[in-house]
A and B are shown apart, each in its own frame.
Chain A
Amino acid sequence: MDSRISLFIDNELSIDEKIEFVSKVHEDNNFRNDSLELLRQEKRLRSEIAERIPLVHFKESKKRGLSFFRPFALMASSAAVMALIFFFLISPKDMICSPHRFVLYNPSVNQVEISGSFTNWEALPLSKVGPSGYWEIVLPLSEGEHRFTYILEGNQRVTDPTVLTKEQDDFGGENSILYMEI
């Protein structure tokens, strides 16, 4: 098969070569069929691969490196949760957490996440509330000030329209500021 088909797909032909290519497509049925088959294959190859493209967290990157030891990290985080529960039982008031429900209405997106000071700026997915267009997540928050933002479709940041206090972040975006009273 003629490698000009790949050059055409990858936009590597000059104008003269494109004229030759189109002429050949018109004159040679086999060449036209081969071109169409490879173009259809290309469309499949370039379609979206994953349901969700991960976000990169620059602020933590220096500390993190490659997380090839995920099972150990999971064990460590489980231990941390156990420690928090222990602290919860004996700690003063400022360590007490209360569940807070975050709700966002946006029926036109397929993915909503929340990232904030209480998630260590990790993005956590919100759940769709049936076909209502609402998205929600309940997270334990301690008393005090918390900063957060919603992330739509993995890349579009939006503040919480129900929280009036906002501030600029390091990336030129905005965070909502929530004050929790327990």
Chain B
Amino acid sequence: MKDFKGFYSEHRENLFSYLMRLTGDYYLSNDILQESFTRCLEHYGSHTRNVSLLYTIARNTLSDHFRRSRRDYHQVEDPEDMTNNQEHVLMIRQEYRQILAGIQKLNKDERDILALTLTGELSYREIASIVGISQGNVKVKVHRARMKLKEILGKRSS
């Protein structure tokens, strides 16, 4: 358990940030974070140090959730409309709300690949293996997603 505690401490923050960028939902990200580490520990034991595996489990857990709730990835509200849930507003940093809303404008694949890249924990090769596409394809999609986001955030700030 001590080994897993170290693995957990090292990756908790990045995994949570990944889930937030993917869903834009603080409480859903919290639930998936909880479930992902629990599944990882239960199925692969306390000695596991496999980061790709952890992210694969998190993606599958999120897919399971969306399949059950019969909806697609949650779309975060515009920063201007986010006052509906005061608690949610308090949890997400003021300066990040606009970025989060911008990320949600990307399509599902772009958001997924960019969010995995932004963790800073995975190489293109590992991302290719998690997503199930070629490394060359990851290279193209990551850059395309960054450029598209630049355009979206540029429009928002102008």
Contacts and interface: CB of A to CB of B under 8 A. Distances in A.
A6 B99 contact: no
A10 interface: yes
Interface in A60-79: 61-62, 64-68, 70
Nearest to B16: A53
Interface residues of A, number: 39
B2 A171 contact: yes
B65 interface: yes
A41 B149 contact: yes
B96 A56 contact: no
A58 B37 contact: yes
A7 B140 CA distance: 10
Given A67-B31, A172-B2, A12 B150 contact: no
A116 to B, nearest CB: 18
A164 interface: no
A57 B30 CA distance: 11
A10 B142 contact: yes
A64 B26 CA distance: 18
Contacts, number: 109
Contacts of B153: 41
Given A54-B16, A68-B65, A49 B38 contact: no
Contact of B93 (A12, A45, A48, A67): A48
Contacts of B2: 171-172
Interface in B101-158: 103, 117-118, 120, 123-124, 139-140, 142-143, 146-147, 149-150, 153
Interface of A: 1, 3, 5-7, 9-10, 12, 37-38, 41-42, 44-58, 61-62, 64-68, 70, 155, 170-172
Which 8 A-B pairs rank lowest in CB-CB distance, beginning with the nearest? A61-B38, A3-B143, A6-B143, A54-B30, A172-B2, A56-B37, A66-B31, A49-B20
8 contacts: A6-B139, A12-B123, A42-B118, A51-B91, A54-B16, A61-B41, A66-B35, A172-B1
Interface of B: 1-2, 5, 8-9, 12-13, 16-17, 20-21, 26-27, 30-35, 37-38, 41-42, 65, 69, 90-93, 95-96, 99-100, 103, 117-118, 120, 123-124, 139-140, 142-143, 146-147, 149-150, 153
